Amino acid sequence: MSHRRRNGARVLRFLTAVVTLTLLLLLCSSCEDAPTSADYRFPLAEEHGIDADRLEQAYVSAARSDRVNSLLVERHGVLVAEAYFRGFRPDSLNTVWSVTKSFNSALIGIAIDQGFIESVDQPISDFLSPIVPDLDEEKGRITLRQLLTMSCGLPWIEEGLDSEYMDWIAADDQLMYVLNKSLIYTPGERFDYSDGAAHLASVVLSQAVGTSAHEFAREHLFDPLGVGRTEWWVDNQGYNFGGVGLGIRSRDMVKFGRLYLDGGTSNGRRIISSEWVDASTRPQIPTDPDDPDSSEYGYFWWIDGCSVHSCYRASGYSGQLIFVVPDLDLVAVVTSDWSGDRNRAIANWYNAYVLIAYEVLPAVR
């Protein structure tokens, strides 16, 4: 599950003040064992146009947090800064929650590039009818584009006390849990963040390519990128969850962000078409048409301004983030602990966002 901000910028402005105060209190606290800038020296920072002192201070803030697990900064294709906290290591797998969606998007793009799927406008009935023979005709006309932009028309309660996430996870059949919902919106017209929609996309992918999303990813994304060990949860029918459940190393999250920043190539090898990268990371639908400051959404990627820069990001529950900042040629990754209640998770997410947007990015020239 990821934090969807229908009123993202407005809420962010409020919580930024809260988080900033928290950071100041942490910085002013006296503790003999508290890290200092001297504990985080990154000799490549200045070479790549990053103020080393300011970057080091961002890492001090991360170290003093009781939730941040890793913070990595890569510029011009070089991993400039990297640190792990609270027992995490470079080979630790992060449960990245809704960052999974952005990987799912990449796999769908690859499947289209390779001809397994005709286009984002292909209806889901082409893939689901063999396994759901009584699929409702109107629901069958939902397209992949409408799944990728969270506008499929099937209602979903993602957040708050009425969140249906746990009911869905506990269902006997996660696919039919989603398909048994009534269409209450015209598909394509309204953004409604949904792990259910993302899961439909994963099932469509598996049906299209004839194998699991994880196996397809290993062959066509992870291995070409040099990604190490991964894990990915499956539902009761054996399909990889489309919106959550990927376990991956922080360094490999950086590689994924760089893949998009480089237009779908890695080490001179084309992995995803540049057209898919461009379509995925440009605004496809507003998350809140009534709020001009709200984030926009691509194909399972968030698009908005972070600090004074335009960026796009993969975003996961409780502070799992891949920031891609094209005008700085920069990728930043933060992962966080996700235990605790939802209120704590919200605070973790905003702390992670502020750490990158208001501490790391201002250090970059």
pLDDT by residue (tens digit) across 212-236?
999 999 999 999 999 999 999 999 9
pLDDT digits 0-9 by tens, 163-213: 999 999 999 999 999 999 999 999 999 999 999 999 999 999 999 999 999
Residue 244's closest CA among 279, 192, 198, 304?
Answer: 198
User: Phi/psi class of residue 241: alpha, beta or left (left: φ > 0; alpha: ψ in -120 to 50)?
Assistant: beta
188 burial via Cβ count (<10 Å: 0-12, 13-18, 19+): middle
Q: Does this model's pTM top 0.75?
A: yes
Report the alpha-carbon distance of residue 243 to residue 202 in Å, rounded: 8
Question: Is-contact 43 313, C-beta < 8 A?
Answer: no
H or E element that contains 207:
helix 195-209
Residue 306 has pLDDT above 50, yes or no: yes
Residue 323's closest CA among 277, 257, 225, 232?
Answer: 257
H or E element that contains 16:
helix 8-28
Of 1-15, 171-185, 326-340, 346-360, give the lowest mean pLDDT range: 1-15
Residue 29's pLDDT band, with cuts at 50, 70 and 90, is very low
Letter for the amino acid at 210?
Answer: G
Report the alpha-carbon distance of residue 47 to residue 20 in Å, rounded: 29
Residues 6 or more apart whose Cβ sits within 8 Å of residue 185: 151, 153, 155, 192
Tokens coding 235: 């539902």
Report the alpha-carbon distance of residue 361 to residue 83 in Å, rounded: 17
Per-residue pLDDT, 33: 59
Residue 37's pLDDT band, with cuts at 50, 70 and 90, is confident
Question: Is-contact 1 97, C-beta < 8 A?
Answer: yes
Return the SS3 of 296: strand
Mean per-residue pLDDT over the chain, rounded: 91
Per-residue pLDDT, 292: 78
Nearest-5° angle of CA 323, CA 358, CA 332? 25
Residue 8 has pLDDT above 60, yes or no: no
Residue 105's pLDDT band, with cuts at 50, 70 and 90, is very high
User: Per-residue pLDDT averaged across 288-299, rounded?
Assistant: 89
Per-residue pLDDT, 34: 67
Mode of pairing for the β-strands spanning 285-286 and 68-75: unpaired
Report the alpha-carbon distance of residue 242 to residue 235 in Å, rounded: 10
Residues 6 or more apart whose Cβ sits within 8 Å of residue 340: 318, 348
Report the alpha-carbon distance of residue 6 to residue 282 in Å, rounded: 17
User: Per-residue pLDDT averaged across 90-119, rounded?
Assistant: 98
Phi, psi angles (nearest 5°) of residue 74: -125, 130
Question: Is-contact 135 154, C-beta < 8 A?
Answer: no
Report the alpha-carbon distance of residue 289 to residue 190 in Å, rounded: 9
Per-residue pLDDT, 22: 45
Letter for the amino acid at 81?
Answer: A
Say how many C-beta atoms besides its own lie within 10 A of residue 255's C-beta.
Answer: 20
User: Per-residue pLDDT averaged across 310-335, rounded?
Assistant: 97
